[in-house]
Structure 1
Amino acid sequence: MSKSDRIKSLKFYAYLCQKVGSEEIVKSRRLIYTIGDIAMDNNYPRISSGSKGEGLNFKGSDTDVMFIEPDFRVYESMSDVTDRWGVALLMDTDETPPCFTYLNMLPKYGVSFVFTEQMREQRNGKMLLSSELFKIHHLRHLVLTKPMLNNIHGPCISDDLEQNDIAYCIKCDKWISQAQPWISRPRTEWPPPDLISQIISLGVLFVPIGCKGSINENFEWRISFSVAEKMLIFSFCHTQLLCYALLKILLKEIIEKLPGLKGLLCSYFLKTLMFWISEELDLSVWRPDNIIPCFIACLQKLLYCVEYSTLLHYFIPNNNLFYSRFDISNKRKLVGLLRNLYQQGIQCFSSSVTLHDYPISSCNMRRQLSPKTILAQETIHLFSSGRAIGNINRLMKNILHHSKSCLSRSIFNLFFADAHHFVSEIPNMHCRSTNKQKYFKYKHYLSQLLIGVNSDAISGWLVLATFFYSHKHYLEALIITEHVLSKFTDKTFLVPVETSFEIVVFHELHDNVMELMKHEKTITIVKALTNLDINLDSKSLAILPELQQDAQDPFMVYTCKPMAHFIRFLSYYYLENVDSYENAFMRLLREFIDNMNYKQTVSERKAKMLKLFHTMYFLGISAQMMGKLDLAKKFFRNVAICDIFNLTSAASRLSKLI
């Protein structure tokens, strides 16, 4: 390769590092998501996958989350069955395609739970765990806490736009025999023997999806190597990873934009392709000054696989992923497009959203966000997608024994502080009623909440305010809510959150917020700019008495600003300061009116009212306390209409006023 070609590759490599992520940023992203998996592991062990879990972030990057069922265990043979606890399942692959299996339930082993009866069916004399009923069971439970996740999409439960995927899976602790040849088959240098040993020690997973078109599709389970695949991706050098990212951008932003081609290929095929290429090539080939030829080789391999309708599963090659994948028409169209892209080389990205400004941008890059700022955004995205409920001891153990870098300790501390929002009654304390024990209980919980104020800019303080109010310390509650409301400004900017389940808002605390980002630590930026919602259950000592009947499991989620105004109203009300509580009510009402755009269509206004659900509920309770019963009825009626999951007692309150 000529010197000019190497220089061109180096420039393209530098450009991709700015667009997709440098090696440092990728490692930090992976660390952030790995910590998130540990921190948010409540009842179900969690595994982040998808582009962001792999360390990539560009338009369309997703975060798929897998939860491992702790009460189920799969075995390949009866001799492996040792556990007497949980639901024991035996693989049965005699009549299934490669990479798929039935899961026979073994009633004589382990424990049968009541809920498993809803997921099993008799089939040919065997009691099988139905993959379809398994998904339906989890959908029914998940929709209570995450109403937007209401669709079954393949093995996952998804939202309407299929941007957020959650898959519940079952684990086998041993490496299965179907994938045994993968361990010792001939290869060049990759993957190395130590990585292979590590991978096979982790076993495999089973996800609830059958082979499409199979007559027993609803009973089949796909054998998943997601953990192994994630470890293989993590072992890529940065040039390999960028080539993988280029293939994903090519698919999402070019191939799928053409009519008739959407859905023909998927990211999993590209990942499999990269694994095969990596086995075939020497590691010395994957260099920054050779990235363009490397990508062209990947594109050529993809063209070859489509032309011959052959892409073998990486771990179980008996399964051809492209078997019957294409018909004559769409195959001809796809092959023609791939040939054209191959002839264009890297100029094929001129029509992509992410990379359209190459080479102009590579010569004169605009001012980029600093790595510190990028990591702050990544952390906030992750932090908003789940909370570390009940994981204080696990988090403390990881902080003390497993955190080796400043970033990891900072992120663990962030989750550690957030976990203190969810501390409920002290065990057995309800049996003790002496003043001394009540005081101890109060001080214990207060100390927990004081740690919790370090989780973000607002919610920790507001939970503390609810605690003071619930213990009739109204003046303290007013001081804290005043501090909370001072954090809100008219200038806010949304962070695009494509993969998290809640909205994340960066609050512009000062005009020089970008300067703050330059000079402060990453974790300081995260704390200062994040506003999380509040989760409180009925056992929490910080629950408002007025909301006690509404805060049953699953946790209720409250937006901070309306809650702050509501606490101020309640505090002034019990201090009998009429002018102040009327003013607080008007500020809460103004919050509602300012967020309602009465020029919108009826459907748009209904959608907006759903978002203002709790604001209306707070207004209804406040109006009722003030004796404005007609106004209270109006708000309770609107809330009752929106409250399709009966999360509040709005309908009950309304019936008592009529």
Structure 2
Amino acid sequence: MEFFSLRIFKGMQRMSESVFVGLCEIVGTSQLVALRRETVDIREMVKRRISPNLGIIQMLSGSMREGFRLKGSDKDIMFWGNNHRVIMDMSQSEYYNTANTVLILSESSESPPGFTLLQSLTSRITRTIYSALVRMNDRAYISSSIFRQLTVSLIFPNSTEHGPCGTGIVGNLEYDTAMCFICDSWPSSASSWIDRCHAWPNPEVVHDIVRNGCHFVAIGHPLGIHKNEEWRISFSQAEYKLVYSMNHSQFLTYGLLKIFLKEVIDQQSEETNKLLCSYHMKTTVFWVIQKNILPYWCPQNLLTGFWVCFKLLLKWVYKGICPNFFIPQNNMFLTKINGSAQNRLFLQLHELYEKGLACLLHSSSIRSFIIDVLYIPRLFICTNERLSEVQHDYHLVHESDFGALFSYTTRLTEVLQTERLLKTVEQLVQLPLTHYQALPLQRLTVAIFQSLAFITSNRYTYTGVNKQMYIADKLSCHMLKLATKFGLVSDMLYIAMYYYKTLRYREALSVLEMTKVKLAQPYLMYDGHVDRERYIEAVGGQSLSTKMRQAVADDIILHNAICYISELIPEQQSAIQNRETILDIPVFVMLHFLEFLCYRHIDTTLSQAALDELQVLVHHDQGIYIYDLHREISWEILGISQQMAGNLQAALYSYQQSLTQHPYHKIQTATHMRIQDVVSQLNN
């Protein structure tokens, strides 16, 4: 009997190890998860340091902040005014300068646990807050329902309400944006959580969480007497710090529960597939870890951890009680999981429970990792988490992109603001940064140099004789060349753009030719596409800076506040009118576009050849070189080129095609203007 039990135990261990390895492939290794988290952290650190007092702060939250990149996951972002603060009692007002800070008082005496009213204390408030004020007991309170209606489409137009958020889809990505308020203090209603933290998390994490306070999001308790005015206390910041403090087995257990919810629980019936959510899974893991039900979390007992969590979830559904991790009195099942719905859900979960761990066979993602062990009992399972070099490089480059960071500044066209950004980077590089944090700063520095080069150049008209212009030109060229030493292969196109802008067409073509050779290499890494073997053969083992400079390309980002080339000014102005801050142009589209523009002044035959290459690319690409969201700007650029070449019918077709694509860049105004221009020329 003991031998039989030992065999079962070892079989469970092997199965757990197999699922652990499978989850590392699906969710990510500890190395990859750390990479994602640390690059997000450094991006937000920079954004907050450069944000003006009157600016808006943003924080990535939810599963993407925690380190997940699961297929179908949405992107949760919280926004709040930098000069707005919620205080828990009036005595805290002395810590703020009321001349430049809008103070809001939390009053929770009449609200259910986890919810509160927010009283406006100052007369100097934003128009949005003023419009959301309601009077109760001769006091002015901010109505969560009105505030939510006013801000639901503030970040992304045409968003719809989803809880406290505005939700929608951009391309293939679903987003949730929440306009909220921040409080620097830890709420007294969550003080019991501090006292519970004996074994987990450790005191340093607890102190960091408490020191950073909480947020308030615009949704009231459905059963509250002031449900339209109440706000929910959000612990999103605390939650991602708790997830950060998990070991990788705990994190993968959380990931397994998310997958199990989506692929198994939610597939049971349409009646119950919206009752449980990922937040309930996270809460379950938090409670199991803190209660120390499973003393040792490792790859060998990952399935044991999953089963303990599943049993706790089943118990909660049976009782109809899911205690919030920070405020246990807040029952998160109260309004959704009760009555007949609760009974149906419990029966479905209990049926899965009776199957034991075989219930995981219903998961399409996990099934194969269990079957491999069942049918090949001697299968060797390696739990080594080391990323392949190619995978590591791709994720590090992809995650470290600052994207539209510059749009976060007040006025990029002011050199002073950009210098402030540089100073922030200079301060941050003095800190003990990890490898994953250093690369984003390197890429940010490259982007700053590129932007400063064009900002400096735009202050002068290029004539070739003015001394100040000559000095500015030398400085701009130096910054762009310096940027290429630390940037990607594609960053050379900024030099070509600058040479074209300053009428040096042969110099631009020389740079384009060098760039074209590098972009044609079979080992190039671009937009997730790479020949792994050739990449390793060409640059394997070299420093990441060398790899980036020789074998990695990315899209060309044009900040709409800066003029790069005059041919795209209408598109940039159209985007600005629609609050879009950048144009994101596929690198090969920009390469052929610049070739066409430069050759127009030198060789009409070669100019037509470049246009032909651009046309073939835009017409026939299957998502390899042009991402779906970038087809709008790609068709537009093809149309501009065709119109300049005098092929008006082709240009008209291209512009019309641009209008049929997803309006990612918000350039429709420019497209309609160009269509009118082409039609006018055709009629003359």
Shared fold (TM-score, shorter chain, > 0.5)? yes
- Determine whether 1:284 maps to 2:295: yes
Per the alignment, residue 619 of structure 1 pairs with 638
SS at match of 1:143: coil
User: Given the alignment, which residue of 12, 30, 34 partners 2:37?
Assistant: 30
For residues 274 and 245 of structure 1, the distance between their equivalents in structure 2, rounded to whole angstroms, comes to 10
Deviates more, 1:90-99 or 1:483-492: 483-492
Task: Verify the 8 A CA contact 1:19 1:58 in the aligned structure 2.
Answer: no
- Determine whether 1:386 maps to 2:399: no
SS at match of 2:455: coil
Per the alignment, residue 23 of structure 2 pairs with 20
Q: Deviation per CA, 1:578-634: give whole Å up to 9, x if none.
A: 22222222222222332499xxxxxxxxx9998532333333333333334444444
**TM-score w.r.t. structure 1 length?**
0.83
Deviates more, 1:621-630 or 1:557-566: 621-630
For residues 262 and 162 of structure 1, the distance between their equivalents in structure 2, rounded to whole angstroms, comes to 21
Task: Verify the 8 A CA contact 2:555 2:587 in the aligned structure 1.
Answer: yes
For residues 299 and 645 of structure 2, the distance between their equivalents in structure 1, rounded to whole angstroms, comes to 69
- Determine whether 1:92 maps to 2:107: yes
Per the alignment, residue 536 of structure 1 pairs with 558
**1:271, distance to aligned residue in structure 2 (A):** 1.6
- Determine whether 1:398 maps to 2:428: yes
Q: What percentage of aligned pairs have identical amino acids?
A: 26
Per the alignment, residue 476 of structure 2 pairs with 445
- Determine whether 1:508 maps to 2:537: no
User: Given the alignment, which residue of 343, 346, 352 partners 1:335?
Assistant: 346
User: Given the alignment, which residue of 176, 181, 206 partners 1:196?
Assistant: 206
Report the residue type matching 1:379 in the other structure.
Answer: L
Per the alignment, residue 257 of structure 1 pairs with 267
**1:254, distance to aligned residue in structure 2 (A):** 0.9
**1:338, distance to aligned residue in structure 2 (A):** 2.3
User: Given the alignment, which residue of 558, 568, 581 partners 2:607?
Assistant: 581
SS at match of 1:461: helix
For residues 485 and 669 of structure 2, the distance between their equivalents in structure 1, rounded to whole angstroms, comes to 30
Distance change in 2, residues 1:406/1:538 (3 Å): closer
Per the alignment, residue 501 of structure 1 pairs with none
Per the alignment, residue 649 of structure 1 pairs with 670
SS at match of 1:562: helix
Per the alignment, residue 78 of structure 1 pairs with 90
For residues 545 and 102 of structure 1, the distance between their equivalents in structure 2, rounded to whole angstroms, comes to 52
Report the residue type matching 2:445 in the other structure.
Answer: F
RMSD: 3.8
Q: Give the 5 Å matches for 1:59-208.
A: 59-61=71-73, 63-81=75-93, 82-84=96-98, 85-108=100-123, 111-114=124-127, 116-121=129-134, 125-135=138-148, 138-143=151-156, 150-160=159-169, 163-185=174-196, 189-208=199-218
Q: Give the 5 Å matches for 1:148-547.
A: 150-160=159-169, 163-185=174-196, 189-212=199-222, 216-259=226-269, 260-281=271-292, 284-361=295-372, 363=379, 370-383=387-400, 386-389=403-406, 391-403=421-433, 405-423=434-452, 425-426=455-456, 435-453=466-484, 457-488=488-519, 505-508=527-530, 512-513=534-535, 515=537, 519-521=541-543, 531-537=553-559, 539-540=561-562, 543-547=564-568
For residues 58 and 6 of structure 1, the distance between their equivalents in structure 2, rounded to whole angstroms, comes to 31
Report the residue type matching 1:103 in the other structure.
Answer: L
**1:306, distance to aligned residue in structure 2 (A):** 0.5
Distance change in 2, residues 1:638/1:378 (3 Å): closer
Distance change in 2, residues 1:643/1:52 (3 Å): closer
Per the alignment, residue 600 of structure 1 pairs with none
Task: Verify the 8 A CA contact 1:204 1:224 in the aligned structure 2.
Answer: yes
**1:545, distance to aligned residue in structure 2 (A):** 1.5
**1:223, distance to aligned residue in structure 2 (A):** 0.7
Deviates more, 1:357-366 or 1:435-444: 357-366
For residues 249 and 587 of structure 1, the distance between their equivalents in structure 2, rounded to whole angstroms, comes to 44
Report the residue type matching 1:50 in the other structure.
Answer: G
For residues 300 and 469 of structure 1, the distance between their equivalents in structure 2, rounded to whole angstroms, comes to 66
Report the residue type matching 2:555 in the other structure.
Answer: D
Per the alignment, residue 590 of structure 2 pairs with 563
Task: Verify the 8 A CA contact 1:10 1:289 in the aligned structure 2.
Answer: yes
Report the residue type matching 1:347 in the other structure.
Answer: A
SS at match of 1:169: strand
**Structure 1: segments with no counterpart, 5+ residues:** 495-503, 598-606
SS at match of 1:312: coil
SS at match of 2:493: helix
SS at match of 2:166: strand
Q: Deviation per CA, 1:198-257: give whole Å up to 9, x if none.
A: 221111111223334667545332111111122222222333323222222211221112
For residues 215 and 441 of structure 1, the distance between their equivalents in structure 2, rounded to whole angstroms, comes to 65
For residues 486 and 177 of structure 2, the distance between their equivalents in structure 1, rounded to whole angstroms, comes to 25
For residues 245 and 205 of structure 1, the distance between their equivalents in structure 2, rounded to whole angstroms, comes to 25
SS at match of 1:47: strand
For residues 262 and 208 of structure 2, the distance between their equivalents in structure 1, rounded to whole angstroms, comes to 32
**1:314, distance to aligned residue in structure 2 (A):** 1.4
For residues 349 and 246 of structure 1, the distance between their equivalents in structure 2, rounded to whole angstroms, comes to 10
**1:273, distance to aligned residue in structure 2 (A):** 1.7
Report the residue type matching 2:494 in the other structure.
Answer: V
Task: Verify the 8 A CA contact 1:103 1:128 in the aligned structure 2.
Answer: yes
Per the alignment, residue 411 of structure 2 pairs with none
Task: Verify the 8 A CA contact 1:493 1:506 in the aligned structure 2.
Answer: no
Report the residue type matching 2:502 in the other structure.
Answer: H
**1:356, distance to aligned residue in structure 2 (A):** 1.0
Distance change in 2, residues 1:381/1:9 (3 Å): farther
Distance change in 2, residues 1:112/1:52 (3 Å): closer
SS at match of 1:482: helix
Task: Verify the 8 A CA contact 1:506 1:529 in the aligned structure 2.
Answer: no
**1:265, distance to aligned residue in structure 2 (A):** 0.8
Task: Verify the 8 A CA contact 2:148 2:164 in the aligned structure 1.
Answer: yes
Report the residue type matching 1:193 in the other structure.
Answer: P
Q: Deviation per CA, 1:333-366: give whole Å up to 9, x if none.
A: 3222322333333332112122111334452569
Q: Number of paired residues?
A: 630
For residues 555 and 156 of structure 2, the distance between their equivalents in structure 1, rounded to whole angstroms, comes to 19
Report the residue type matching 1:409 in the other structure.
Answer: A
Task: Verify the 8 A CA contact 1:592 1:616 in the aligned structure 2.
Answer: yes
For residues 556 and 294 of structure 1, the distance between their equivalents in structure 2, rounded to whole angstroms, comes to 46
Distance change in 2, residues 1:590/1:246 (3 Å): closer
- Determine whether 1:55 maps to 2:76: no
**Structure 2: segments with no counterpart, 5+ residues:** 374-378, 407-417
For residues 317 and 510 of structure 1, the distance between their equivalents in structure 2, rounded to whole angstroms, comes to 50
Per the alignment, residue 604 of structure 1 pairs with none
